[in-house]
Amino acid sequence: MSEKEKANPFDSAFNRILNIMAGIAGAIVTFAMLNSTMGVIARTFFNRPIGWTSEFNAYALLYITYLSAAWILFHEGHVIIGVATQYLKPRPAAFLKAVTSVFGAIVYFIITYFAVNVTWKSFVMKYPVQATVLIPKYTIQIIIPIGCFVLAAQFLRRARDAYRLSKKQD
């Protein structure tokens, strides 16, 4: 069992949340692919375009991004520019990872704050999305504060783990 799998109850619950969010993102990818295919077939072979397919897929991209970002960060699946860290010893590299992760958490907590305010205003004011399918704007925006908050929390966990690693390194 890997170090990340040996976790306290909070980490285990958080990991389950990450996996559920990533699973939902995967399901949305699958549905968006089928939706696009259906739209192309309907337009090409039956000359009957489906108006909401491109709108749904645009919203799907937003949801996929925010549902999967923290899971990708947890698995270190993001792009890493190692120009600076490749020349560092393990201890300073781990410490730098902790520091940059704290900055990442701060940035995403700030974005979460503003996203909550904007989403709440859209909910209270009942702003609609002016598109083929009339839906409340907050239903599209709600994933942004959720995804940013979970990503900020994952950055904090990453900072904690990197800091612990920097203390173990010699």
Locate the DSSP E strands across the chain.
128-129, 135-136
Task: State pLDDT tens for residues 100-151.
Answer: 999 999 999 999 999 999 999 999 999 888 877 788 999 999 999 999 999 9
Return the domain boundaries, the chain: 9-168
Helix (H, G, I), strand (E, B) or coil at 129: strand
CA distance 64 to 35: 15
Q: What is the pTM of this model?
A: 0.86
Which amino acid makes up residue 50?
A: I
Segment holding 87, helix H or strand E: none
Task: State pLDDT tens for residues 27-66.
Answer: 999 999 999 999 999 988 998 888 888 889 999 999 999 9
Query: Can you spell out the DSSP letters for 132-154?
Result: SS-EEHHHHHTHHHHHHHHHHHH
